[in-house]
Chain A
Amino acid sequence: MPEVEQPSDSHPTAFLPTADLQILIDRLMDDGFQVVGPTVDQGAIVYDEIRSIQELPRGWTDLQEAGKYRLKRRDDDACFGFVVGPHSWKRFLFPPMAQVASADRVDAAWVMRTPTDDPPRYAFLGVRACELAAIDVQDKVFLRGPYVDPIYKKRREAAFIIAVNCTQAAPTCFCTSMKTGPRCKSGFDLALTEIRDGFLLEIGSQAGRTLADRLPTSPATQPQLEAAEAARHRAVEQITKTLDTTDIRNLLLGNLEHPRWNEVAKRCLSCTNCTMVCPTCFCSSVVEVADLTGDHVERQRQWDSCFNSDFSYMNGGVVRNDISSRYRQWLTHKLASWHDQFGSSGCVGCGRCITWCPVGIDLTEEVAAIRGKKFASISLVQLDGGNQQAPTRSADSSGEAPPPCSA
Chain B
Amino acid sequence: MLGVTRVDAPAGCDPANPWLALSAVVDEVLAETPGVATYRIRIQDEDAARRFRYRPGQFNMLYLPGLGEIAISISGDPSIASPLPHTIREAGRITQALAKMGTGAPIGLRGPFGTSWPVDDCAGKDVILVAGGIGLAPLRPAIYTLLANRPHFGELTLLYGARTPDDLLYTCEFDDWRKKGLTVFTTVDRATRGWHAHVRPHPGCGQFQFPLEENRGAWTGNVGVVTLLLERLRLGRPRETVLITCGPEIMMWYTTQTARGLGLSETNLWMSWERNMNCAVGLCGHCQFGPKFICKDGPVFRYDRIAPFLEVKSL
Of the stretches A194-202, A365-373, A383-391, the one at the interface is A383-391
Cβ A110 vs Cβ B285 within 8 A: no
Once bound together, how far apart are the Cα atoms of A109 and B26, in whole Å? 11
Once bound together, how far apart are the Cα atoms of A405 and B308, in whole Å? 11
Q: Which of B16, B106, B278, B313 contacts A285 (CB 8 A)?
A: B278
Size of the B side of the interface (Cβ < 8 Å), in residues, is 57
Once bound together, how far apart are the Cα atoms of A353 and B263, in whole Å? 48
Cβ A283 vs Cβ B284 within 8 A: yes
Once bound together, how far apart are the Cα atoms of A297 and B92, in whole Å? 20
Cβ B283 vs Cβ A253 within 8 A: no
Cβ B21 vs Cβ A112 within 8 A: yes
Q: What is the 8 Å Cβ interface bit string for chain B, positions 299-310, against chain A (1 contact, 0 not)?
A: 000001101111
Once bound together, how far apart are the Cα atoms of A257 and B314, in whole Å? 11
A150 lies within 8 A of chain B by Cβ: yes
Q: What is the CB-to-nearest-CB distance from B294 to chain A, in angstroms, rounded to a whole number? A: 10
Determine the chain A residues whose CB is within 8 A of the CB of B288 once the complex forms.
306, 329, 333, 337
Nearest to A145 among chain B residues (CB) is: B282
Determine the chain B residues whose CB is within 8 A of the CB of A55 once the complex forms.
none
| Residue picked from A101, A333, A336, A393, most chain B C-beta under 10 Å | A101
Once bound together, how far apart are the Cα atoms of A286 and B274, in whole Å? 19
A149 lies within 8 A of chain B by Cβ: yes
Determine the chain B residues whose CB is within 8 A of the CB of A271 once the complex forms.
none
Cβ A336 vs Cβ B66 within 8 A: no
Determine the chain A residues whose CB is within 8 A of the CB of B22 once the complex forms.
112
List B residues 44-101 near A (Cβ within 8 Å): 44, 63, 65-69, 91-92
Nearest to A115 among chain B residues (CB) is: B19
* Contacts A111-B23, A391-B308 given; does A285 touch B286 at CB 8 Å: yes
Q: What is the CB-to-nearest-CB distance from B292 to chain A, in angstroms, rounded to a whole number? A: 8
Size of the A side of the interface (Cβ < 8 Å), in residues, is 65
User: SS class of chain A's interface: helix, strand, loop or mixed?
Assistant: mixed
B25 lies within 8 A of chain A by Cβ: yes
Q: Which of B19, B254, B285 contacts A100 (CB 8 A)?
A: B19
Determine the chain B residues whose CB is within 8 A of the CB of A380 once the complex forms.
308
Nearest to B286 among chain A residues (CB) is: A311
A35 lies within 8 A of chain B by Cβ: no
List B residues 219-274 near A (Cβ within 8 Å): 250, 253-254, 266-267, 274
- Give chain A's interface residues, CB within 8 Å of chain B: 100-101, 103, 105, 108-112, 114, 141-142, 145-150, 253, 256-257, 282-288, 290, 294, 297, 299, 304, 306, 311-316, 319-322, 324-325, 329, 332-333, 336-337, 339-341, 378, 380, 387-391, 393, 405-407
- Give chain B's interface residues, CB within 8 Å of chain A: 13, 15-23, 25, 44, 63, 65-69, 91-92, 106-108, 250, 253-254, 266-267, 274-276, 278-279, 281-286, 288, 290-293, 296-297, 304-305, 307-315
